[in-house]
Amino acid sequence: MSVTLPGIEIPRDAMVTDRAGDHTTALTPVVTGKAEILPLVETVLSWDLNRGSLPGVGVSLYLVKKFTAYGRVLEGNLATLYGLLPADSDLRCGTRATLSEAARRLYMPPSGGSERGAAHRAQNLARLIRALLRSTGSAALVPADEDAE
């Protein structure tokens, strides 16, 4: 059996249950590309957590893992760009705030087992992915500070 989100199928073998800890983990830590992540972000942000049916916990936790892996890559890229920003750049403050939020959210332990909690965590990470992409795009447009270390 597989789970299908609008236009996206999550294969059954993407998850395995750990009998000792009785939790779900990804078989392989594959980092998804931007083209695959953006539709997932839009789908997750379209969920209405106050009305209607919520996605299953497994679906939400699968997306949390995808967003976490991709977010960590973006965080590393943004940290590199941050080091290249001119010291007097207005973007440094916003970029630093985004990196701080990423450091906090991307390393939190897995969310609980409720449908609402897992979906909420997925939405928060989807918002973080958007912020990381926006900051990375903005920082990449600024000429590097030649004196940056």
Quote the pTM value. 0.74
Output the tens digit of pLDDT for each of the chain's 149 residues.
Answer: 344 554 455 543 444 333 344 444 444 445 678 889 999 999 999 999 988 778 999 999 999 999 999 999 999 999 999 998 888 888 899 999 999 999 999 999 877 678 999 999 999 999 999 999 999 988 877 766 544 44
Among candidates 32, 30, 5, which has minimal Cα distance to 15? 30
Whole-number Å distance between alpha carbons of 19 and 15? 13
Whether the Cβ atoms of residue 120 and residue 60 lie closer than 8 Å to each other: no
Chain-centre distance of CA 79, in angstroms? Answer: 16
Q: For 73, phi and psi rounded to 5 degrees?
A: -65, -45
Beta strands in 11-138 (DSSP E): 15-18, 23-26
